[in-house]
Amino acid sequence: MAATQPTMSKPGTPPQYWLTRFVILRLLGTVYAVAFLAAVRQLPALIGSQGLMPAAVFLQSVREHFGSAPAAVARVPSLFWIDTSDAALQAVAWSGLAIACIVAAGYANALMMAALWLLYMSIVRVGQDWYGYGWEIQLLETGFLAIFLCPLLDGRPFPRREPPRAIVALMRWLIFRIMLGAGLIKLRGDPVWRDLTALDYHFETQPLPNPLSRWFHFLPRPALRAGVAFNHLAELVAPWLMWIGGRARYLAGVVIVAFQLTLILSGNLSFLNWLTIVPALACFDDAFWRRLLPAPLVRRSMAAQERAEPSVAMRRASLAVTALVVVLSLPPAFNMLSASQIMNTSFDPLALVNTYGAFGTVGKVRMNVIFEGTHAVVPDERALWQPYRYVALPVDVDRMPPLVAPYQPRLDWQMWFASMSRAEDYPWTLHLVWKLLHGDEGALSLFAENPFPNGPPRFIRATQYRYEFADPDDEQGRWWNRERVRTWLPPLAKDDPRLQRALEHLGFLGKAPD
């Protein structure tokens, strides 16, 4: 039962953020937990010693590029400079998951939040293509600010230290840049956002559709136009309202959160939308939360306020962070105002203040690249080719798109990008083929299943298909229609000299699995 009294602060008193801090940290802890869970399950196969893009090889190339270890560490800060073994990867991922679960359960202090930030930054900086998404640096920036919301040691849900208002303001500055940057890049990047037709294509061509994506795709065209208008309202208008204060700030927060929830319903966009909600919660103060949260929780927050003690150290730290963010905000702010705006970019090695944006262009055609194997002696069209099914990317036309978000299957995401380009632009796909030809368990773990449980195939190829949603009333019960477009990678065997030469040139060829 939600609390009804008291709901408002005394007239003339500044707004309080005890409940706001509580909600922000709980949601952020949950997002961190999902991110580290994906790392636990996927890091060895992606960047482990026998991974598709080994972290050790990457760090060695960074050291050679910058000429010295100190210069390399300064540009690519990561704990993995100490050790890049699979055990080290798993230790970092499991440690992050454990701490994140504690934070999500309600217990957080500055040391714990700093540990989460350091551990995740260490992964992102060696993650290469697999961690090149905008939400990775967004999580780092959000996580850095969250360090200073908490007392240094007191990890109780409602400690005696008041949440620094300066950090709450910096959270608003973060969500302002996230939303406005995304809105501006859309207006500059693709006319479909200006003529309100973007959603005619987006739900079908987005990276990973979910079970509701087809329903959204077949909504009446006026509803889809209204959806684009709502996008513009959330990204171009609501960010400005939060600086007015009072009910306007509440309205801004409600619009932004509601917009993120519609994106959660309509697609598998990893943990991006849940993460974006985190700084948006800074639009709400305790007077707002008292109407929504359970009465016992509200009473605990009020008891904490009554025994609150000033903290000179927290105040000084928040002012220092504010000064740092102001200075580091200049490049992102100038980028937002630039006609050549770029998105999802860090301007400092620690990713403390970044520029954001999403879907600056919208694909009008959905292409998927499917890896297929065969035991046939002759790898022609008469052979029986069996597909390697992804976790979430479409393969079978009669399979409903699964719900996987906020978890992110990173191979699926990279293959969505690769499907719109050439194999030469994604050389690690050759390494993937080589591993599948050897029945590598790590590589197979990135797929939904192994179509060759009795031994790896003789040949593997990659074929590009065009997919589009089938009509919901399709008599055959199909979710997709598809047509073959071209051969993306020709049939390759593990002893094919072309494959071996390419891998040796790329530095990928390693020991064959036992």
Parse the chain into domains and list their residue ranges: 18-355, 366-506
With H, G, I as helix, E, B as strand and everything else as coil, classify residue 366. Answer: strand
For 34, the token pair is 């999902």
Q: Where are the alpha helices (DSSP H) in 190-220?
A: 191-194, 202-205, 213-217
Across the range 292-317, mean pLDDT stands at 93
For residue 510, what pLDDT is reported? Answer: 54
- Distances in whole angstroms, Cα of residue 54 to Cα of each of 169, 316, 373: 40, 41, 25
pLDDT tens digit sequence for 184-231: 999 998 999 999 999 999 999 999 999 999 999 999 999 999 999 999
* 16 within 8 A of 286, measured Cβ to Cβ: yes
- The upper half-sphere exposure of residue 135, i.e. CA atoms within 13 Å in the direction of its Cβ, equals 21
Query: How far is the C-alpha of 161 from the C-alpha of 148, rounded, in Å?
Result: 11
Pick from 269, 266, 483: nearest CA to 368: 483
* Residues 130-139, mean pLDDT to the nearest whole number: 96
Amino acid 431: pLDDT: 96
Q: How far is CA 265 from CA 18, 231, 323, in A?
A: 30, 14, 38
Q: Flag whether pLDDT at 267 surpasses 80.
A: yes
Q: Any idea what the Cα angle at residue 143 is, between residues 289 and 186, rounded to 5°?
A: 85
Mean pLDDT of 403-422: 96
Residue type, 254: V
% the chain with pLDDT above 90: 89
Q: What is the pTM of this model?
A: 0.95
